[in-house]
Structure 1
Amino acid sequence: MTTQTLKDLEQTQDFIRRHIGPDEAQTQAMLNDINAESVDALIDEIVPANIRLADLPAIEESKTEVKALADLKAVASKNVVNTTHIGLGYYGTLTPNVILRNVLENPGWYTAYTPYQPEIAQGRLESLLNYQQMCLDLTGLDLASASLLDEGTAAAEAMALAKRVSKNKKSNLFFVSEEVYPQTIDVVKNRAEFFGFDLVIAPANDVENHDVFGALLQYPAASGEVSDISELIEKVHAKKGIVAVAADIMSLVLLKAPGELGADVVIGSSQRFGVPMGYGGPHAAFFTTSDKYKRSMPGRIIGVSKDTRGNAALRMAMQTREQHIRREKANSNICTAQVLLANMAAFYAVYHGPKGLKVIAERIHRFTDILCLGMATKGVQADHANYFDTLTFTLSNKEEIVSRALAKGVNLRTDVEGKVSVSLDETTTRENVANLFDILLGEGHGLDVAALDQQIIDCDHASIPASLVRESEILTHPVFNSYHSETEMLRYIKKLENKDLALNHSMISLGSCTMKLNATAQMIPVSWPEFANMHPFAPVDQAQGYKHMIDELDKWLVELTGYDAMSMQPNSGAQGEYAGLIAIQKYHESRGDAHRNICLIPSSAHGTNPASAQMVGMKVVVVDCDKSGNVDMSDLKAKAEELRDNLSCIMITYPSTHGVYEETIREICEIIHDNGGQVYLDGANMNAQVGITSPGFIGADVSHLNLHKTFAIPHGGGGPGMGPIGVKKHLAPFLPDHALINVDESTKGNGAVSAAPFGSAGILCISYLYIAMLGKKGVTDSTKYAITNANYLAHKLSQHYPILYTGNNGRVAHECIVDLRPLKEASGITEMDVAKRLMDYGFHAPTMSFPVAGTLMIEPTESEAKPELDRFIEAMTCIRDEIRKVEQGEWTVENNPLHNAPHTLADITDPAWDRAYTVGEAVFPVPAAAANKFWPTVNRIDDVFGDRNLICSCPSVDTYKD
């Protein structure tokens, strides 16, 4: 008879054992190797006792996948998903199912990392190049980025670019048309305040009355009006100002490109190209500009270069990690793109092609014509005669109409006094239009959609001015004209996926990036219509499911961070840094300390830290680190005391970027507080804190959390991300709010940092389920096993490579740094060679040359089991042996498998093979590589050539054939 209890039997359903890689036997074997009695004993050795939490966090016990999903489905059912006609940059869209299943829901696309190793990222790079080409064609400009966080952020970045490049150096004034989307104005106002720019918000025609360095116009306007803005642009240019135009991407299929009207920058959201609304995100914003401003562009740009065989190859150009090089002088702190969503939009354009997009845009516009004509025949004129998809009506019975709309399950735009706006989209049907007539006119109006449609044809109705009808062709490149059947599209997506290494192939050991399991169960609700199809400005009583989920996630994160309040609005880690620093500055201002503007930053800090500090008007002062990688306490004390009158804060990462729990972290907090400053603790390494310590318990005042790291939102090939911030109660009144949806009564009136009130709310369900399924024990065990795996890896690798930094007891935190500099000096083999050679073994390289040049920073996470760790260790051990052969002269510096890595099929099928090593040594260096071979599709890429010959649009089809 069995002796197991029911609880024992139910352990088979426990998510914790699914998430944490090592089982009991593997764990014991690793502990034996590193001479640790137990996991808990190891944690006791590593984490300073004075910051250890006594108990498990006060959150719920773990739930099974089945239970957690069922409970969240019940929560989701509280959302009322009305038919939405609100518009304002968010629209219903039809995600082609071939894209939904094979991109959004495919780990081959959503678990990939930022393409810093382009040889194994050619698929997503090609798709991003398609995205850039799509944006260039539609906007009529020369250069496009690979996407930004959202439309509001893109507008703020356009303002910053205008200030950098404008020849009107005497002006400090930026003009914003009052017809720009209100949430965009909110973000721009907040950014302008901390940049010290003057801002005027007025009717667009008023721009000629101001001496400006730049202006922002909306095309079509928020009210829906389509007007020729070329004269306004000329007037700004006459004053040496720069004009940014926020444009609707679908309208540009039919409207003259803003670049043809004279715009210097065009920004907007590509959401309506197949990306669900998701209560505000994630969505990819586009940003295009003139080639002459390329050095001032924010974010990432994908460029065409060549590999060592002379073949075309793609890479990130120019801006790649510029924050880590230029620090506070960087163009922007935003180093995140919205890659997964940009790829969805690009595939949408590829799938529909120019003809398909034109049909969609014309259908939207025709329905709008029908609505406008029908209303006019009943004596209700739209405010504007020229429009694309949005009509605004000035009404005396607004309340009655809104009441009828809500009764029929319809949302309209109602935030402007005395007016109602109606936006139509790809999902609009004949029935929706008939329903709108009932809402706007009352039943019994006698209007017929088909009859009105025929009337429009007969009278040659023209609601787009002839001068603004697009004449230039779009999407002429073969990629947009080749994959219109589902079979062809499916194969194209798969072809690109096969070029990319993601977590579904092997461990990605990037330090500080926490590439852990993104469990399938956590991803499922992203596609649920209750979450996916909610407009961010829907009445709050319709979004009670979202509110319940966000409130509960908020409560859990407050407990796990030791803070008192959270803001979910920042939609990237860098955006979180920005929001947290704003809270600090506003706190100082509230106490009459507006002069406090010095930010201390250790030399080991993330590159976005100084870039974020300068965005809120702070002056960065670098604090030295000692030879062990810790903050130099004497330097910190001296600078804090010297600058105490103007000290605003310190930005510090914990555990340190060097992978060590600094023993003095509490003292650091006390020194800053004693000198009048606040402590910003960067949450990048929160995966080494959850459940065993917390920023608030340590003594910090504010942190951002990278939900795409610690809390399992996948990286998506370089985005989406989420960077909510936690704060102590004295900073809570200074958290971001929103112009259209009040986030919390205590923050009412505060500016926004993102376009949507809860940022990329559509992916918060991932982190919600991560915590729900792990529970208090699971989230704590995740931290413990991340540390255990890292120490096992560090111990094994230390037998072959120097480990740069360790704690007082020789242990590391959740990551370690392998120092390749001595080997480089002895052999000539570089960290780049090692990174590229790892591809031949089937691995993505660790973080290269950060935070120390000439090193690799490795973070295995808790999700990797011992066999995968051992496979990585074997690869690194074999690579060390290969370096030794170069050291000993068996191979030359120029003719060895590291220098020539990665190796491709083109290499091994080349009859002119003249290498000093065999084909087998090149591509099957160990049996494990042969058993699960990943083939890079290009050889090593020439970065210098790519930057000197900048091409950021799709090459000719012949290039792809070659």
Structure 2
Amino acid sequence: MSVHSDFRSRHLGSIGSDREEMLRAIGYDSLDALADAAVPAGIRLEKELVLPEAKSEPGALAWLKSIFSKNVLKKSCIGQGYSGTHVPGVIGRNILENPGWYTAYTPYQAEIAQGRLEALLNFQTMITEMTGLDVANASLLDEGTAAAEAMSLALAGAPKGKVIFVSGACHPQTIAVVQTRAEPLGIEVKVGDWEEFDPATCEGLFAVIVQYPATCGSVYDYAGFFEKAHAAKAVTIVAADLLALTLLKAPGEFGADICVGSSQRFGVPMGFGGPHAGFMACKDALKRKMPGRLIGVSVDSRGKPGFRLSLQTREQHIRRDKATSNICTAQVLLAVMASMYAVYHGPEGLKHIASEVHAKTATLVASLRAAGVKVLNDSFFDSIVIEVADAAATIKKAADKGYNLRPMGAYVGVAFDETTTCEDVAAIAEVFGASVVEGEGTNWDVSLSRSSAFLTQKVFNSYHSETEMLRYLKRLESKDLALNESMIPLGSCTMKLNATSEMLPLSWPEVSSIHPFVPADQSAGYREMLELLEGWLAEITGFAAVSLQPNAGSQGEYAGLLAIRRYHLSRGDEHRNVCLIPVSAHGTNPASAVMVGMKVVGVKCDEKGNIDVPDLKARIEEHRENLSCLMVTYPSTHGVFEETIVEICDAIHAAGGQVYMDGANMNAQVGLTSPGRIGADVCHLNLHKTFCIPHGGGGPGVGPIGVAPQLVPFLPGHSELSSNEGAVCSAPWGSASINTISWMYIAMMGADGLKEATQLAILNANYMAKRLSGFFPVLYTAPNGLVAHECIIDVRPLSDKSGITVEDVAKRLMDYGFHAPTMSWPVTGTLMIEPTESEAKTELDRFCDAMISIHGEIMAVANGEADANDNVLKNAPHTADSVIADDWKHGYSREQAAFPLPYLRQHKFWPSVGRVDNVHGDRNLVCTCDSVEAYAAAAAQG
């Protein structure tokens, strides 16, 4: 295969003489020699990976197309939380298919993420307006997990008891996820008829959950029920349909404390289950314990409003095992799409869509009743349940006409959506022997009709032409720094190439348009693709089996630990509940352990950042009888291949425990070693890191788990799978559609390509460490001086000399056109750099040149050549309007501020705001867009 048709050469940044020059710079003559030195011999793979031969980009696309041709595309009228929707072309092309949106990182550096943050503020505003509640977060993973998070939120403030009531009229997958989440926490889940349940007589009740409209389609009035629940001191939770809320009374108006749901039907394809943005809104009193991310407004250094992440956004890192949730991510790209769907249609457009859906449903109901067919619903929005003589025969008859109906035991369900046409209504009526007659009007009690206004803010009433929408999206995109602008060198986050050929299948109808609960024979292509990917990942990880259900890394952690818990329980070892976690671990690790009912015990790290083996062994002995597992990241959180990893795993196994490996750093393992080879029993993989699913500005992600043979029976189950126990999210394969990206990556790279990618990631990290070590000490290395795929540089010695902080360096990097590396984690005052294999030597050198230039700027402060307070670092980042302002009063030039290196004159990325004041924003929390203008006026007045 020539270099021009070999995808590997397109994915890998440095080839030829550049690679040879980097190898010489660190003292090695080949990638193999470097890998032999970097990766301990005792954990190297004994044989090459067995994977299909690498395909060219056209070849892989053709192969995947042939697989997906086995899917059968029918119009699904199943509902159950998933609806057909039209993705507006301007949103599909300019967000979903635009690397300016999908390759951005989580907006931790607010000044270069203002576009995404504004879009997410729009999302939060949309959710608060639709639900009638005070505060909404910037999205959760899906509806089922949002309901489970709501349960945990309610429990955190519960004055008594551990009993939750869940209406049997909730979606079945939501009930299943809540039950899974409740069991390890000792929560009793009572499922039943909400009309017959009396909160006053339920001892220990802390919350109730209902569905609105119900899964059967009925629109119930929960006001009286919620009054009784509140009288019993229970938190009230509603799982709501967002489109229905344009016509129905908002949950906050009939007593809901929390509202959750999915924004999928707001212009996001079904994709066989995802990714979709779940949502959560709550009353003001609950906001400081609400899980996930919250976008707020503050002011920048010039008093201009600036958006940023607020409150508990990174609470896992602060609270660790005291955190109320392990969620450290969101579904940003999908939340942005949903919010822009609302912006594009506006409140009147949304009401029109909802009214059309309801009218078609009413027409079907009238037609069926006129034909003597019994419809069980007294009320409905878009879904109904029909009594039939033979449910299976009816469903088959509909399928033969091209429609999927919902099997409901002896009954059949029908759900309509915005893609439903008048022809569809007639065809489905005919399935039941009916002819179309004129439909009825609104059928629910008038008290349940929405009377309150919503989405009155300017942004939802301004961009209804495609021209205006296109320009609005472009303005927001231009405020964000993404991979299409420059490298994003974040340690542990692996911001690598998301190749166009990997992304293309997402827009194929046979990928995007499949409902997750279609009959198995209609999703044969999907199932084959997913089975192949599971097999490839099992081979790569050295495990017996893989589950693709977890739809985020945090969810993978939870699913992996849940499998360990269930394994111990199956052996009668209920007492094994101690989880050992190094103090350097990512904050989600202890949070996840607590979620599965484990007790967290910390393990020390030595001065080199490695696990302190003597301390580990002491903790093992101390908790031997109750030891459940060890959570460990490999290579270590400090970016080093620890020599003692096999000894560590053996010690845990000898005490009867299991080893959970955090797969955040798999980019340093693939093709060279594996979790199975090292001795781990379970590992989650971040497909949005090592396997090329883009970060999407903070989501979507996928966090599948691989397990050793003894844990296979305890992988997540689902009603659509052979096992029905332990569902961890709403759909059987989680965010199924984006797995096509990782499938394409592996298919195009092959075993040799994947191995070379790992080797080059290690080369790039060591090259950058070598270049920067003369200016910033590299904090941790192996005994031979090498790092793994990332390195930590220490800014603290320079801070001691100059007063310049690591945050100052991060903000100054924006002036050079770069996103900062991971800041102050896992060690305060440091930067963790991961270049990945996709960046060319040219880009690595450009970043190193910027850091070396910043070192000179710091030294100027340390030497007294620059003012300690008025300098380019303390005042960074510099916006275009600040540089051209008439009132320039700094002791350095405008040129030094904006163009410190020559390459910036060829192309300059300008931050749209100055340094944002996070503390001010948290003290004056604004998290909806309706009050931003008023907030700006108030800020201007001081």
TM-score, reference length from structure 2: 0.98
| CA-CA distance at 1:893 after TM superposition | 2.0
* CA drift at 1:785: 0.2
Query: In the alignment, is residue 831 of structure 1 matched against residue 824 of structure 2?
Result: no
- Measure the CA separation in 2 of the matches of 1:24 and 1:640: 49
Pairing 1:374-773 to 2, within 5 Å after superposition: 374-414=367-407, 416-441=408-433, 445=434, 447-448=435-436, 451-453=437-439, 456=440, 461-739=441-719, 741-742=720-721, 745=722, 748-773=723-748
Q: Deviations over 1:871-902 (max 9, x none)?
A: 00000000000000000111122100000000
Establish whether residue 301 from structure 1 lines up as the match of residue 294 from structure 2: yes
Are positions 1:185 and 2:178 aligned together? no
Q: The residue matched to 2:195 in structure 1 has which SS?
A: helix
Query: Is 1:89 aligned to 2:81, yes or no?
Result: yes
Report what 2:893 is aligned to.
Answer: 918
SS of corresponding position for 1:645: helix
SS in 1 for 2:653: helix
Would the aligned equivalents of 1:312 and 1:959 in 2 still touch at CA under 8 Å?
A: no
How far off is 1:911 after superposition?
1.0
Shift of 1:668: 0.4
Q: Which letter does structure 2 place at the counterpart of 1:383?
A: L
Is it true that 1:322 corresponds to 2:315 in the alignment? yes
Q: Is residue 323 of structure 2 the alignment partner of residue 337 of structure 1?
A: no
Structure 1 residue matching 2:580: 3-state secondary structure: strand
Aligned partner letter, 2:188: D
Q: Secondary structure at the match of 1:112?
A: coil
Q: What's 1:868 paired with?
A: 843
Using structure 1 for the length normalisation, give the TM-score. 0.96
Instruction: Give the secondary-structure state (helix, strand or coil) at the position aligned to 1:227.
Output: coil
2:166–2:190: 8 Å Cα contact kept in structure 1? yes
Residue 860 (structure 2) pairs with residue 885 (structure 1): yes
Alignment pair present for 1:232 and 2:225: yes
- Give, as a single letter, the amino acid of the residue that structure 2 aligns with 1:307: D
How far residue 525 of structure 1 moved from its aligned partner, in angstroms, is 0.3
Q: Secondary structure at the match of 1:268?
A: strand
Contact kept in structure 1, 2:391 and 2:409, CA below 8 Å: no
What is the distance in 2 between the residues matched to 1:102 and 1:56?
A: 41
Question: Deviations along 1:766-805, whole A, 9 cap, x unmatched?
Answer: 0000000000111100100000000000000101001100
- Contact 1:905 / 1:935 at 8 angstroms: preserved in 2? yes
Aligned to 2:136: 144
Contact persistence 1:92–1:533 (CA under 8 A): yes
In structure 2, give the amino acid aligned to 1:899: K
Alignment equivalent of 2:782, drawn from 795, 807, 823: 807
The answer to whether the 8 Å contact 1:207/1:236 transfers is: no
Name the aligned partner's letter for residue 438 of structure 2.
L
Pair 1:366-2:359 in alignment: yes
Asked whether the equivalents of residues 289 and 312 of structure 2 are also in contact (C-alpha less than 8 Å), the reply is no
Matched residue, 2:26? 34
Whole-angstrom CA distance in 2 between matches of 1:397 and 1:771: 46
- Closer, same or farther in 2 for the Cα pair 1:630/1:388, shift >3 Å? same
Preserved CA contact (<8 Å) 1:690 1:780 = yes
Residues 817 and 856 of structure 1 are in contact (CA less than 8 Å); yes or no, is this contact kept in structure 2?
yes
What is the RMSD of the two structures over their aligned residues, measured on CA atoms?
1.1
Name the SS of the counterpart of 1:332 in structure 2.
coil
- Same amino acid, percent of matched pairs: 58
1:34 positional shift: 1.2
CA distance in 2, matches of 1:440, 1:102: 42
Q: Which amino acid aligns with 2:170?
A: V
Please give the per-residue CA displacement for 1:263-289, whole angstroms capped at 9, x wherever unaligned: 000000000000000000000001000
Alpha carbons 1:837, 1:901 under 8 Å: kept: yes
1:166 and 1:280 map into 2 onto residues whose CA distance is 33
Q: Distance in 2 between matches of 1:640 and 1:677?
A: 9
Q: Quick one: which amino acid aligns to residue 926 of structure 2?
A: I
The one-letter code matched in structure 2 to 1:698 is: I
Give the aligned residue type for 2:652.
Answer: I
> The residue matched to 1:11 in structure 2 has which SS?
coil
Q: Deviations over 1:561-587 (max 9, x none)?
A: 000000010000110010000110111
Q: CA deviation at 1:956?
A: 4.3
The residue number in structure 1 matching 2:822 is 847
The alpha carbon displacement at 1:464 in A equals 2.4
Q: Which of the residues 303, 307, 310 maps onto 1:310?
A: 303
- The residue identity in structure 2 corresponding to 1:554 is E
**1:961 shift after superposition:** 9.3
Residue 709 of structure 2 aligns to a residue in which SS? coil
CA distance in 2, matches of 1:689, 1:64: 24
Shift of 1:320: 2.1
Number of residue pairs matched? 934
- Distance in 2 between the 1:440 and 1:901 partners? 68
Listed one character per residue, the Cα deviations across residues 478-534 of structure 1 (whole Å, up to 9, x for unaligned) are: 000000000000000000000000000000000000000000000000110001000
Does structure 1 conserve the Cα–Cα contact (< 8 Å) formed by 2:26 and 2:770?
yes
Q: Distance in 1 between matches of 2:464 and 2:932?
A: 17
Q: Shift of the alpha carbon at 1:958?
A: 4.1
Does the residue aligned with 1:206 lie in a helix, a strand or coil?
Answer: coil
More moved, 611-620 vs 372-381: 372-381
User: 1:226-253: CA deviations, max 9, x gaps?
Assistant: 0110111111000111010000000001
**Post-superposition shift, 1:404?**
0.5
Deviations 1:30-50 (A, max 9, x none): 111111121111111110001
1:74 aligns with 2:66: yes
Paired position in structure 2 for 1:20? 12
Report the CA distance between 1:960 and its aligned residue.
10
Instruction: Decide which of 237, 242, 245 is 2:235's aligned counterpart.
Output: 242
1:98 aligns with 2:106: no
Equivalent residue letter for 2:817: G
**Structure 1 Cα separation of the partners of residues 749 and 780 of structure 2:** 31
Question: Which residue of the partner structure matches residue 203 of structure 1?
Answer: 193
The answer as to whether partners of 1:794 and 1:803 remain within 8 angstroms in 2 is yes
C-alpha distance after superposition, 1:792-835 (max 9, x if no partner): 00000101001100001001000000111111111100000000
How far apart are 1:299 and its partner, in Å? 0.3
Q: Which deviates more from structure 2 when the two are superposed, residues 862-871 or residues 887-896?
A: 887-896
Corresponding residue for residue 929 of structure 1 = 904
- Do 1:478 and 1:957's aligned partners in 2 also have CA atoms closer than 8 Å? no
Could you list the runs of 5+ residues in structure 1 that have no partner in the other structure?
A: 1-6
Asked if 1:174 is matched to 2:161, the reply is no
- 1:4 paired residue number: none
Which secondary structure does the structure 2 equivalent of 1:817 belong to? Answer: strand
Tell me, yes or no, if the aligned pair for 2:114 and 2:912 is still in contact at 8 Å.
yes
Contact 1:56 1:780 in 2 (8 A): no
How far apart in 1 are the matches of 2:793 and 2:194?
56
CA contact (8 A) 2:54 2:747 kept: yes
Query: What is residue 882 of structure 2 aligned with on the other side?
Result: 907
Deviation at 1:427, TM superposition (A): 0.1
Structure 2 CA distance, aligned partners of 1:426 and 1:236? Answer: 35
CA–CA distance in 1 between the matches of 2:587 and 2:905? Answer: 38
Distance in 2 between residues matched to 1:930 and 1:158, nearest whole Å: 50
Q: CA 1:298–1:807 in 2, change beyond 3 Å: closer, same or farther? A: same
For 1:823 and 1:310, locate their aligned partners in 2 and report how far apart those are by CA, in whole Å. Answer: 30
Q: Is the 8 A contact 1:558 1:565 kept in 2?
A: yes
**Helix, strand or coil: the match of 2:778?**
coil
Which position in structure 1 is the counterpart of 2:940? none
Contact 1:790 1:812 in 2 (8 A): yes
- Residue 791 of structure 2 is aligned to residue 816 of structure 1: yes
**SS class of match (1:496):** helix
Counterpart of 2:136 in structure 1: which amino acid? A
C-alpha distance in 1 between matches for 2:718 and 2:475? 42
